[in-house]
Amino acid sequence: MNSARHQGSTEITNLILEAAARARAEIGDIDHKPAAARSAKWPIDCKIGPGLEGAIACESKVGYVNGTAGLLSYRGYDVFELCAYSTYEEVSYLLLHGHLPNPAQLVEYEKKLARYRHMNKTLRLLMSFPVEHMNAMAALRMGTIFMRQEFTYVDQEAAKPDLSDAISADEDSIGMETKPSGDKKAIYEFRKKKKKPRKVDSQLGDASGLEACYHLIAGVPTLTAAIARIRQGLMPYEPLNDLSHAGNLFYMMNGRRPTPIEERVLDVALILHADHGMNASTFASMVVASTLSDIYFSVGSGIAALNGPLHGGANERVLHTLREIGGPKQVRKWVKKALAEKLKIPGFGHRVYKTYDPRARVLGPLAQYHCLGCRAEIQNLINTAEVLEREVVSSLATEKQIFPNVDFYSGVVYTRLGIDPAMFTPLFAVSRVAGWTARVLEYMRNNRIFRPRALYTGKFDQEYKPLDER
Ligand code: ACO
């Protein structure tokens, strides 16, 4: 089943399949599909912890994560299979449309991506700002707003929200005065009547439609590569229409065509980061969309949320840690000290995964394979990472279920691809824009504005004193 596009990187397909086999052997034959993989009868009960932990905010068919078994699937397809046989183009189409494209659909989609990758007006606007002095994620967020301007031209009629969707814009289903009581605190009232699905297959210029999603999936890589170049004092490269999505990203960042291995490694990394449940940046995008703001503003919020070190920024920290450790021989002593100081070692642990993160299972062998025989500095990074993984897993896996997460090896993978650490988080956004847009589109088909409550623990009956008496 090896795709013609993967010829020249058969070893990579094999190592992904080996990682998948190892994962399956550890999981065993147990059926890990959720018992209720069907529509719920709203309102539903669920226990909610701080930070909405445990809260079910919506239904989704986009992706499934099982943190106990270490499973990740997009639209029902195992992420290992998608990495082994698919491409980012197919995967982003799958996430958006709910099915894999047939050959004609893929050609049509690739043509659109190729067209939207060219963003001369947006780049001209971007370059009129001091991007070289800006945080790369701030520049990327600004760039998505310029993309919106290019796409909608002006705030024309098509870009305006459909006000029939604006029902109950700012109401509380549960009054603020209602006290939470045990599990009951998690009961929400949801819209009972099924709304007519919103038309998403809209015209060019509709800033909340499918075409805008294509524009963002194609354009965020162009923006990211341009930001990387401008930060180095260089001019951005025009995309090449004969290169794939990953190939173009590599080319626009590095100024040369990738080898088949480099293209495939980047493609697999993009597939692995494309979607991951209701994580903070996805939720941020959905909250913004639910106000009937448009998909450019949504993606801008996703970028803002991803920027934080608790979310998208950990891979850069892994790289700094590996450099700080210095080499494989220093790992044991470093880990001992880190654990004694109760340090959170970057690239380990996960809120959802209590076993190996399936994405780390692929990225680890991918990094090892790609770093074979490369220059001493990178060789040292990967050797240090391998020993660090063994040490941390042997110290923390049994007691605390701490394993490597997606960020542990991605920094090494990107460094091997010649990418500057400051661009690691923007690269995450390049991939995740598929998940953000897919989930926003899905949610908008039956939109209801997000509106949780806060438990008021403040004072009452305060007496107002004039300014000069305070
Ligand atoms: N290194 C050492 N110990 C750890 C680590 C770690 N990386 N992560 C968790 N622990 C320990 C904690 O100290 C805690 O121990 P205790 O019970 O003795 O106090 C226990 O494991 C539980 O940790 P929490 O912080 O409560 O776990 P939580 O689920 O809240 O946090 C998180 C998950 C934020 C990812 C955490 O593991 C962490 O900070 N990891 C390092 C940063 C990182 O790699 N982030 C990327 C995550 S993947 C992503 O966002 C794409």
Q: What distance in Å separates the CA atoms of residue 23 and residue 13, rounded to the nearest whole number?
A: 15
pLDDT digits (tens, 9 = 90+) for 141-156: 999 999 998 877 555 5
CB 347 within 8 A of CB 313: no
Q: How far apart are the first and last CA of the chain?
A: 76
Q: Could you give all domains of the chain from N- to C-terminal order, each with its CATH number? A: 315-416 (1.10.230.10)
Average pLDDT over residues 269-282: 96
pLDDT digits (tens, 9 = 90+) for 7-39: 778 999 999 999 999 999 988 766 777 765 678
**Residue to mutate (ligand 1; options 350, 425, 431, 432; most atoms within 8 A of CB):** 350
Residue type, 437: T
H or E element in which residue 412 lies: helix 406-416
Percent of the chain with pLDDT strictly greater than 70: 86
pLDDT beyond 90 at 122: yes
How deeply is 419 buried, as exposed, middle or buried, from its count of CB atoms within 10 A (0-12, 13-18, 19+)?
Answer: buried
Of the pLDDT bands very low, low, confident and very high (cuts 50, 70, 90), residue 235 is very high
Of the pLDDT bands very low, low, confident and very high (cuts 50, 70, 90), residue 188 is very low
Is the CB of 344 within 6 Å of ligand 1?
yes
Tell me the average pLDDT of the chain: 88
Q: Is the pTM of this model over 0.85?
A: yes
Q: Where are the alpha helices (DSSP H) in 255-405?
A: 260-272, 280-290, 295-306, 314-325, 331-340, 358-371, 376-400
Strand partners, 66: 71
pLDDT beyond 90 at 390: yes
Is the CB of 131 within 6 Å of ligand 1?
no
Q: Which atom in ligand 1 lies closest to the alpha carbon of residue 279?
A: 50
Of the pLDDT bands very low, low, confident and very high (cuts 50, 70, 90), residue 170 is very low
- From 6, 350, 357, 370, active-site residue: 350
Helix (H, G, I), strand (E, B) or coil at 155: coil
Average pLDDT over residues 175-180: 60
Instruction: Report DSSP state, residue 30.
Output: -
User: What pLDDT score was predicted for residue 19?
Assistant: 96
pLDDT digits (tens, 9 = 90+) for 71-121: 999 999 999 999 999 999 999 999 999 999 999 999 999 999 999 999 999
- The count of other CB atoms within 10 Å of the CB of residue 134 is 16
| Residue 407 falls in the annotated catalytic set | yes
- The count of other CB atoms within 10 Å of the CB of residue 103 is 7
| Residue 350 falls in the annotated catalytic set | yes
Helix (H, G, I), strand (E, B) or coil at 71: strand
